[in-house]
Amino acid sequence: MKYLFFIFFCYMLIISCNKPETTNPVPPPATDSFTVSINNGYGSGRYKAGDTVHIFSQAYSSSQLFGSWSGNDVSLLNAPDEWHTWFIMPKKNVNFSGSSLNISSFTLNFEKIKGRDRLKPVYYYFPAGHKGIVYLLHGTGGNAAFLVADYEWQLLINDLVNNKFALIVTESEEATTNTDLNSDGVLRWNTTPWDTVSNIDYANIRIITDTFYNRGLTSNSEPKYSIGMSNGGNFSTALSTIYNFRAGVSYCAPSGTPIAQVTNTPLQFCMARFDNNPSVGSAGNANALSNSRMMTGRGICSKYFTKERSPLYPERFARRGDISVSQSAAVFNEIKAAHLLDAKNYFIGYSDALKSALNATPSAFPQLSSLNVSQQNFVITQIDLAVSDHKMYSDFNRATLLFLTKQCQ
């Protein structure tokens, strides 16, 4: 009996040793986020597939320009040649590197030149072999000096000169005289009447340009272009229409249906998604798009761009160079600690929220409070740009250059 039991035990042992595995393997966890790696710029991190990801170049000196983005998936980028661009996160890791271009130094010339009725402040530069003249036009309450001192305009100026465009910057007659000539309550360019003699703003542009012809700095055969911000954008589209320029560009201004109905000049509209200016806003953005489509329907070249809001990043306030990276990061951390940023570092509301918080509790912003007035204003402007409010911006500089050069070709 013991012998039979021993045989049975050995038999069962052999069967159990040869029993096939029936347990299912545990699958690896599903990956729902992937890595973005940025060299010479910002935006690195982990993002979920389908997220909108913004990337930014590092700051560069006054003798440099942003070059372009390179990497394993450049085709993903909305605008690979702009210093700030965005893309939709794919289901894989991606990397991008920003490059810079060295440019020749130059200085804008300044003098007062006789217009129709009086001397006008004029900044100008004519590169050797320039391929056209670009007029830069300030907005309501601005002037020529404010324009050339503005960092976003400076970036565009550098891009224009590097691409061999000549520049002329002057100002509205109301800005020069500090007088509201048409009693509309503000100082700005007067777009009407559309007359190059009775409207002093149109007349001054013609007379100042004739001065440069007479000096031999340029010639009447050079193509002409205009770029304006806000009221300057409205004036840009009218000016380029009246004088039959090669192209005109309007930032943060819809320009009006009458222009779209009659112009034969290619026009580009660059708007801000959350423009909070009472004269523009969402209605103005919609009007600009409608005007652009009207022109296209008439067979006239027109393009329309909208700047989207973007998250802040710790180095954002160091762009101009007079705020260090460490100071910028400290200001960023103060803003975040004040609960003015959401979970993805988008600023909540508009820049007035920071002004109010700073005025109410200066002690909560020791680094921001230690900055000088110019630096504090720069911080506010960078927030305006990040939330896509009513400000001149450099995010579409290359798109503007392309439009000046080729229009819709």
**Does the pLDDT value for residue 406 go beyond 60?**
yes
Report the pLDDT value the prediction gives residue 32, as an integer from 0 to 100.
76
Compute the distance between CA of residue 154 and CA of residue 378 in angstroms, rounded to an integer.
14
The Cβ of residue 212 has, within 10 Å, a number of other Cβ atoms equal to 19
Portion of the chain with pLDDT greater than 90, in percent: 91
Compute the distance between CA of residue 362 and CA of residue 216 in angstroms, rounded to an integer.
56
Compute the distance between CA of residue 231 and CA of residue 235 in angstroms, rounded to an integer.
6
Compute the distance between CA of residue 220 and CA of residue 324 in angstroms, rounded to an integer.
45
DSSP label at residue 262: H
**Does the pLDDT value for residue 335 go beyond 70?**
yes
233 CB-contact burial (10 Å; exposed 0-12 / middle 13-18 / buried 19+): buried
380 closest CA partner among 396, 344, 356, 345: 356
Binned at pLDDT 50, 70 and 90, residue 248 comes out as: very high
**Does the pLDDT value for residue 307 go beyond 90?**
yes
Tell me the average pLDDT of the chain.
93
DSSP string, 344-355: T-PBPS-THHHH
Give the mean model confidence (pLDDT) for residues 139-164: 98
Portion of the chain with pLDDT greater than 70, in percent: 92
Sheet with strand 41-42: strands edge to edge: 41-42, 52-57, 84-88
**Does the pLDDT value for residue 199 go beyond 70?**
yes
Binned at pLDDT 50, 70 and 90, residue 5 comes out as: very low
- Over the stretch 60-99, which tens digit does the pLDDT of each residue have? 998 999 999 999 899 999 999 999 999 999 999 999 999 9
Report the pLDDT value the prediction gives residue 1, as an integer from 0 to 100.
41
64 closest CA partner among 364, 297, 321, 380: 321
Binned at pLDDT 50, 70 and 90, residue 287 comes out as: very high
Report the pLDDT value the prediction gives residue 17, as an integer from 0 to 100.
42
Compute the distance between CA of residue 315 and CA of residue 338 in angstroms, rounded to an integer.
18
Cα 152-156-162 angle, rounded to 5 deg: 145
**What percent of the residues of the chain are helix, what percent strand, and what percent coil, each to the nearest 5?**
35, 20, 40
**Does the pLDDT value for residue 312 go beyond 90?**
yes
CB 225 within 8 A of CB 248: yes
For residue 88, what is the enclosing H or E element? Answer: strand 84-88
- Over the stretch 102-120, which tens digit does the pLDDT of each residue have? 999 999 999 999 999 999 9
Whole-Å CA distances, 107 to 63, 157, 234, 319: 12, 11, 28, 21
Binned at pLDDT 50, 70 and 90, residue 7 comes out as: very low
Report the pLDDT value the prediction gives residue 256, as an integer from 0 to 100.
86
For residue 177, what is the enclosing H or E element? Answer: helix 173-177
Report the pLDDT value the prediction gives residue 30, as an integer from 0 to 100.
55
**Does the pLDDT value for residue 2 go beyond 90?**
no
- In this structure, are strands 45-48 and 52-57 parallel, antiparallel, or unpaired? unpaired
**Does the pLDDT value for residue 184 go beyond 80?**
yes
Give the mean model confidence (pLDDT) for residues 191-216: 97
DSSP label at residue 391: S
What residues are paired with 109 via a beta bridge? 124
Report the pLDDT value the prediction gives residue 25, as an integer from 0 to 100.
53
**Between 316 and 1, whose confidence is greater?**
316
Binned at pLDDT 50, 70 and 90, residue 10 comes out as: very low
Q: At what angle do helices 200-215 and 231-242 cross, to 10 degrees?
A: 60
pTM of the full predicted structure?
Answer: 0.92
**Does the pLDDT value for residue 23 go beyond 70?**
no
Two structure tokens written together for 20: 């096939």
